Amino acid sequence: MTKTEYLLFDLDGTLVDSVPDLATSLNLLRAGLGLTPLIQENVVPMIGDGVSTLVKRALGEKLYQPKHVEQFMQIYSEHLLDNTLCYPGIKELLEQHPADKMAIVTNKPYQLTIDLLKGLNLTRHFKIVIGGDSFTEKKPHPLPVIKALEGLGALPHQAVMIGDHHTDLYSGRDAGTTTCFCAYGMGNNDGLTSDFYAEQPTDLLKLFPETSVE
């Protein structure tokens, strides 16, 4: 297999555990609509396909209105960093690779992504940050990964798309990169086979060791 030089990361469920803050924000939105709270375990499978889908799943098709997305984003922006933390080993992983070899490709809205990265002091690690609203398409479409590769100056075979959800695997595969499934995250692989497999976040340190800087 060709040596992997560039690392493209999903965010939620891959680099950070944001379930508590997402659940809190969804439940505050639900409370304002007179709904009972969701337990965190039920929130997990709702995550990964973008904010509109997340809110729609949390409220149900009949109650959902587009205005609820803006309401949720306002609430979530106020609770973005209450309990969200990097998974074990992630900061060490990022320190071992130069920023010009790494990108974020997430379905989280761009501004919330930037705010979260800044709050956790992670911004400096990434040359490229792509959110779910950065382009006309989001994962599982390959366009965000293609744009990330262009921004990094990387060829598809030089890169790996790392994520916890099948949207990451589809997006990377169709853009021509190798893929790594993070089984510890929030999503599922939809039965897809990945080139790499991380049972625990610390496995990424072994799969993608330090890049030598010439």
List residues with catalytic annotation.
10
Task: State how beta strands 6-9 and 102-105 pair.
Answer: parallel
Tell me the C-alpha distance between 208 and 93, whole Å.
8
Distances in Å between the alpha carbon of 29 and those of 42, 69, 162, 168, 210? 16, 10, 31, 28, 42
As a whole number of angstroms, the distance between CA 99 and CA 16 comes to 18
Backbone φ and ψ for 102, nearest 5 degrees, come out as -135, 150
Query: CA 18, CA 107: separation in Å to the nearest integer?
Result: 14
Dihedral (CA of 142, 172, 6, 162) sign: positive
Half-sphere exposure of 192 (CA within 13 A, CB side): 27
